[in-house]
A = this chain, B = another copy of it.
Amino acid sequence: MEKFEVHILGCGSALPTTRHFASSQVINFREKLFMIDCGEGTQMQMRQSKLKFSRLNHIFISHLHGDHCFGLIGLISTFGLLKRTATLYIHAPSELQKILQPQLDFFCKEISYKIIFQAVDTYKQQIIYEDRSLIVHTIPLKHRIPCCGYIFEEKQSPNHLIKEKIDFYHIPIYEFNKIKSGSNYIDPQGNIVLNNELTRPALPARKYAYCSDTIYQPNIVKQINGVDTLYHEATFSSSDEARAKETFHTTALQAGVLAQKAKVKKLILGHFSARYEDESILLNEAKQVFNNTFLAKENLCFKV
């Protein structure tokens, strides 16, 4: 199966602790790296997770709170020191460029590569990235400031050809793409060979959803329905539900409810408040309603 993994670089919330780094993760999709959020310390965490800086071309920022973007300038600087040449794309709410530009002008004067800021409208569901095999959509979230999540959706691969049958019927190469897409084969004598004799269905396309930071938002269920892996913030425990509401965050139980309603396959909790020394309280809460739940942890890697 082609690689589709999520590396957790940081899953704490705003206050620093000795247990967690600020938010950041890297998706390795077929050896291309995509970053979501870039809190302070992200570049050190990339080294720790042995991720190659040169494989990262796209960074997606959920919102402009410091614990989700203070690591950008350090990472951008380091790319400069490493003499990067590939363009770096930063997908983020539009104000980011205004804030970063004075820093870039001062610290990264002689940078060897181009940075392109792509403004993200956090209020709309839309496709903001697409290549031959991957689509990235935004998920509008509701936080104290404009914020969105991201869905990474693998494109459905065509059916696989069954080599023995292809050889048996002497099918010419120029017919392969049509057959992969579902056509039957008609041989020179006019005989029809049905597609299901020639192909094996590809594995179903996989989806990963990242939702942080947000108040409990049941209306995202439709969009994240059936994803393979859902990373959802669980800043607080149910006992702090009032605080969660007030600060536009989610409890672990609420994250579990979303996972259950959306019938996802796996739930990863993250963005933990500094107040919980023992996060198993959050895990157990979510597991009450959705059993296949895991706690995020720095430098852990999950398969989607």
Residue of B nearest to A65 (CB): B107
A14 within 8 A of B: yes
CB distance from A198 to the nearest CB of B (A): 50
A218 within 8 A of B: no
A301 within 8 A of B: no
- Kindly name the residue among A66, A102, A107 whose own CB sees the greatest number of chain B CB atoms within 10 A: A66
A18 within 8 A of B: yes
List B contacts of A99 (CB < 8 A).
Answer: 102-103, 106-107
Give Cα A24–Cα B198 distance, bound, in whole angstroms: 64
- A66 in contact with B102 (CB, 8 Å): no
The proximity string for A residues 40-66 relative to B, scoring 1 for CB distances below 8 Å and 0 otherwise, is: 110110111000000000000000111
Give Cα A96–Cα B78 distance, bound, in whole angstroms: 20
List B contacts of A21 (CB < 8 A).
Answer: 44
A2 within 8 A of B: no
CB distance from A276 to the nearest CB of B (A): 15
Residue of B nearest to A14 (CB): B81
List B contacts of A87 (CB < 8 A).
Answer: none
- A78 in contact with B15 (CB, 8 Å): yes
- A107 in contact with B66 (CB, 8 Å): yes
CB distance from A289 to the nearest CB of B (A): 31
Q: Which residues of A contact B (CB under 8 A)?
A: 14-18, 21-22, 40-41, 43-44, 46-48, 64-66, 70-71, 73-74, 77-78, 81-82, 95, 98-99, 102-103, 106-107
Given A15-B82, A18-B48, A66-B73, 14 more A-B residue pairs with CB atoms under 8 Å apart are: A14-B78, A16-B44, A16-B46, A22-B74, A40-B71, A40-B74, A41-B44, A65-B107, A70-B73, A70-B74, A95-B106, A98-B102, A99-B103, A103-B103
